[in-house]
Amino acid sequence: MYKSDHNSWGLIAKIFHWGVAVFVIMQMSFGINLHFMEFSPFKGMLINNHKIFGTAILLLVILRLGWRFSNPKPSNKEVPMIHRIASGVIHVLLYLLIIWLPIQGMLLTWTGGYDVAILGLFTLPRLIGENLAFYEELKGFHYTSTLILLFTFLIHLAGGLYHRYIDGDKYGIWKRMSFKKRS
């Protein structure tokens, strides 16, 4: 039940998936909102929360990947090859982006001359010095990467909804990630 098997994702993998999904969707929305805000003490406070949430995402993804590789993955044998390849590429891209974005955010914070504290509690040593010109460049990159993540996520979401509502979930792809008991 807790561990994944060849038929379904286990409870822990599902909690990781949906927990990270909620955090990442919130982080993208708040981040994109930050992009359009003028600097103010209120924005400073939002950036602080954004950093706490962002480092929580990085921690969760590291734990999630550890769990993922210590469990079997549900089998995809009946799923057509083209779906398997497309979903595999999207899953790898999603993982890469949700690791790369928090790392980028940390580099961004250091080049801005600030510290990064994991969950706002444990300050990390600065791996790169203050560099305000690079800060502006990285900020643009951080924003573009978020748009790429958003686009990748929307393809993933469309794939999930396709299986659920158009395909009648005939391969059980939706069911094996859902919390509903399998019938």
Site string for ligand HEM, 6-35 (x = CB under 6 A): -----------x--xx--xx-xx--xx-xx
Q: Is 60 in the site for ligand HEM (CB under 6 A)?
A: no
Q: What is the closest distance, in whole angstroms, from the C-beta atom of residue 11 to ligand HEM in the complex?
A: 14
For residues 98 and 183, which CB has a smaller minimum distance to ligand HEM in the complex? 98
- Which residues, 6 or more positions from 153, have their beta carbon under 8 angstroms from its beta carbon? 24, 25, 28, 94
Q: Is 4 in the site for ligand HEM (CB under 6 A)?
A: no
Report which secondary-structure segment, H or E, holds 122. Answer: strand 122-123
Report which secondary-structure segment, H or E, holds 155. Answer: helix 132-161
Structure token pair of residue 130 = 């203050």
- Which residues, 6 or more positions from 46, have their beta carbon under 8 angstroms from its beta carbon? 30, 33, 34, 37
Angle CA 158–163–165, to nearest 5:
85
Q: What is the closest distance, in whole angstroms, from the C-beta atom of residue 77 to ligand HEM in the complex?
A: 12
**For ligand HEM, which residue of 10, 110, 111, 176 counts as binding (CB under 6 A)?**
176
Q: Is 51 in the site for ligand HEM (CB under 6 A)?
A: yes
Q: What is the closest distance, in whole angstroms, from the C-beta atom of residue 147 to ligand HEM in the complex?
A: 8
In angstroms, the CA 169 to CA 78 distance is 12
Query: Which among 2, 1, 6, 171 is positioned nearest to 72, based on CA atoms?
Result: 6
Which stretches of the chain bind ligand HEM, using CB under 6 A?
Answer: 17, 20-21, 24-25, 27-28, 31-32, 34-35, 47, 50-51, 54-55, 57, 68, 74, 87, 91, 94-95, 98, 101-102, 105-106, 108-109, 116, 139, 142-143, 146, 149, 153, 156-157, 160, 173-174, 176-177
